[in-house]
Amino acid sequence: MRITLEPISSKDYEGNVVFLYGNEVSDRNLPLSKKEIEWLKVRRSADSYSVVVFDRLPYHLFVVNFDADSPAVDNQEKLRRSADKVVSMLKDMKQDSVGITGEGTIPEEVVAFLEGMMLSDYSFDRYKNETPSHIEHVAVDPIYLKQEELERNERLWNRIYWCREWVNMPVADLNAESFAAELEEIARDLNVKCTVFDKKKIEALRMGGLLGVNKGSVDEPRFVVLEYCPDNAINSRPIALVGKGVMYDTGGLNIKPDDYMREMKSDMAGAATMASVLFAAADNQLPVHLVALLPMTDNRPGFNAYAADDVLTMYDGTTVEVVNTDAEGRLILADAIAYAVRNYEPELLIDAATLTGAAVRAIGTYGIAAMQQNADNPFHLLKIMGNQVYERIAELPFWREYDELIKSDVADIKNCGISQAGAITAGKFLAHFAKTTPYIHLDIAGVAFFSKKQEYYTCGASGYGIRLLYSFLQTYEVTKGEHQPTVS
Distance CA 443, CA 355 (A): 6
Instruction: Confirm if 155 and 115 have CB atoms less than 8 A apart.
Output: no
Do the beta carbons of residue 51 and residue 85 sit within 8 Å? yes
Contact 337, 355 (CB under 8 A): no
Give which of 337, 300, 357, 334 is closest to 413, Cα–Cα.
334
Give ∠ CA 369-361-367 in degrees, rounded to 5. Answer: 35
Q: What distance in Å separates the CA atoms of residue 338 and residue 447, rounded to the nearest whole number?
A: 26
Report the b/e string of 420-433 with b at 16+ CB within 10 A.
ebbbbbbbbbbbbb
**How many other CB atoms are found less than 10 A from the CB of residue 44?**
19
197: helix, strand or coil: strand
Does residue 272 sit in helix, strand or coil? helix
Which H or E run includes 159? helix 147-168
> CA-CA distances (angstroms) from residue 258 to 206, 250, 367?
35, 11, 26
Rounded to 5°, angle at Cα 59 from 54 and 65: 40
Nearest to 393 by CA among 412, 414, 375: 375
Q: Which amino acid is at 103?
A: E
Cα(336)–Cα(329) distance, integer angstroms? 11
The secondary structure of 408-446 as a DSSP string is: -SSSSEES---STTHHHHHHHHHHHHHTTS-EEEEE-TT
Please, is 57 exposed, middle or buried when counting C-beta atoms within 10 Å of its C-beta (0-12, 13-18, 19+)?
Answer: exposed
Per the CB < 8 A criterion, the answer to whether 15 and 59 are in contact is yes
Alpha carbon distance 66, 303 (integer Å) = 58
Q: Which residues are catalytic?
A: 256, 330
CA-wise closest residue to 318 among 342, 334, 341: 334
Alpha-carbon gap, residue 347 to 328, rounded angstroms:
27
Cα–Cα dist 61/77, whole Å: 22
Beta bridge partners, 317, equal none
CA distances from 203 to 41, 261, 320, 462 (A): 68, 29, 17, 34
